[in-house]
Structure 1
Amino acid sequence: MFLDQLLQSVADARNRYIAYVQQLTEEQAHWKPDADTWSAVENTEHLYWAEHGGIWGMWKILQAKRDGKPPVYQGELIHRGRSIEEIIERTWQPKEVVPPIAAPRMGGSVAFWLAALESLQQPLTKLSHELADEDFEAIIHPHPISGPLDIGQRFAFLRFHIDRHRNQVADLRTLLAV
């Protein structure tokens, strides 16, 4: 039940993000105020790569558990029982450096990246069904910045991360209006 609520919160965040960015023209979606700020397209491409990697990693960890392989992470569970907001507060810098695997690098149309981002809900939904009989708090998939997160925290991270980037796009849109 809890994982279903987390899944829905990710879907809601994804839908809010897509609806917000779809309001931009292609030109607006590519606009950026300076070289160090991502455009809406770059934010969207980043969200796709980051989420794709996170979902793939959760599937990989689940399959390893089912195959009887030792857990990928065997250290101390320093974030047990913490909300994703608290974890981010403790582990992130004000402006983080994105891991290269999640960095925007291809460019292209905003419509493509929104469709790609939208497509990730299906494998995430399938994963949540696969996890139905699992103790998801015992399945740990480390985040490259925050460290060991259980599956529930990982789902919560997806929602948090999408909302974070929607806010960044909103900031861009405010600058566009000036």
Structure 2
Amino acid sequence: MDKRQSLLKSVALARHQFIQAASGLTYEQSQFKPTPDVWSVVDNVEHMVWAEMGGINGIWKTLDGIRNKKPIWTGEAIHHGLPIEKIIEKTWKEKEQVPEIAKPRWGGSVDYWIEALANCQNMLEALCDEMDGYDLEQIIYPHIISGPLNVVQRLEFLRFHLNRHQRQIENLKSLPDFPLAR
């Protein structure tokens, strides 16, 4: 299995586990917020959709730029060779602020957002097929907080991000005042 397939598999597993954590909830459970500043389950899932759509689109734009000799990004690959966990440790604050573009804003049914997130995997796989023959470390699209990340780091980020928000959902579900299923 090549690096691309291995990374895709790790993202698919993280996506599946995230979706499992967010699935099977009542409306009240999916909307539950212990305090106004804490995201509900539906907020977490919607955020993941916006974040992934932006990242996947950015990588695709970057690949198109490389193909057409009009690169999206040029500069020093300051995180070259680093795993995403080290990059996040270096670049994120303890309580990082979500970029406006990735903030939950529509709300609605958690089932809608789960379906949208599941479909991000199809787009990601199609994108990875398009990268066949390209050096994944040379396709660099900046992350809004962490700066320039290559495709390997971007795929690691997707896994990391899904795991991070899965923990947030599991923490919500473990609160004593989380609504009971009916």
Letter in 2 for 1:23: G
CA distance in 2, matches of 1:164, 1:150: 20
Match of 1:135 in 2: 135
What is the distance in 1 between the residues matched to 2:147 and 2:59?
14
Percent identity of the aligned residues? 50
- 2:29 aligned residue: 28
For the residue of structure 1 that corresponds to 2:25, the secondary structure is coil
Distance in structure 2 (CA, Å) of the matches to 1:104 and 1:16: 20
Any idea what SS the aligned residue of 1:120 has? helix
Matched, 1:9 2:10: yes
> How many residues matched?
177
Q: Does the aligned pair in 1 maintain the 2:4–2:128 contact within 8 Å?
A: yes
Q: Deviations over 1:6-54 (max 9, x none)?
A: 0011111110011111132221010011111100000000000000000
When the two structures are superposed, what TM-score results if normalisation uses the length of structure 2? Answer: 0.94
Higher strand residue share: 2
Partner residue in 1 for 2:54: 53
Asked if 1:84 corresponds to 2:121, the answer is no
Which runs of 4 or more aligned residues in structure 1 lie more than 4 Å from their structure 2 counterparts after TM superposition? none
SS at match of 1:142: strand
One-letter identity of the residue aligned with 1:49: W
1:33-112 counterparts in 2 under 5 A? 33-69=34-70, 71-112=71-112
Please list the CA deviations of residues 110-161 of structure 1 after superposition, one character each: whole Å capped at 9, or x if unmatched.
Answer: 1000001001111100111111210110110000000000011001100100
Which blocks of at least 5 consecutive residues in structure 1 are unaligned?
none
| Alignment TM-score, normalising by the size of structure 1 | 0.96
- Note the residue ranges of structure 2 that are not aligned, 5 or more in a row: none
Number of the residue aligned with 2:148 = 148
Q: Which amino acid aligns with 2:150?
A: D
Tell me the C-alpha RMSD between the 2 structures: 1.1
Q: CA deviation at 1:103?
A: 0.4
For 1:5, give the aligned amino acid: S
2: distance between equivalents of 1:129 and 1:68? 20
Comparing 48-57 and 73-82, the one that deviates more: 73-82
Contact 2:73–2:142 at 8 Å: present in 1 too?
yes
2:34 and 2:177 in contact (8 A); partners too: no
Q: What is the identity, as a one-letter code, of the residue corresponding to 2:72?
A: V
Deviates more, 1:7-16 or 1:168-177: 168-177
In structure 1, C-alpha distance between the alignment counterparts of 2:56 and 2:88, rounded to whole Å: 19
- Find the aligned partners of 2:163 and 2:124 in 1 and give their Cα distance: 17
How far apart are residue 177 of structure 1 and its match? Answer: 5.6
1:66-101 deviation per Cα after TM superposition (whole angstroms, max 9, x unaligned): 0111x2222221100000011111111111111111
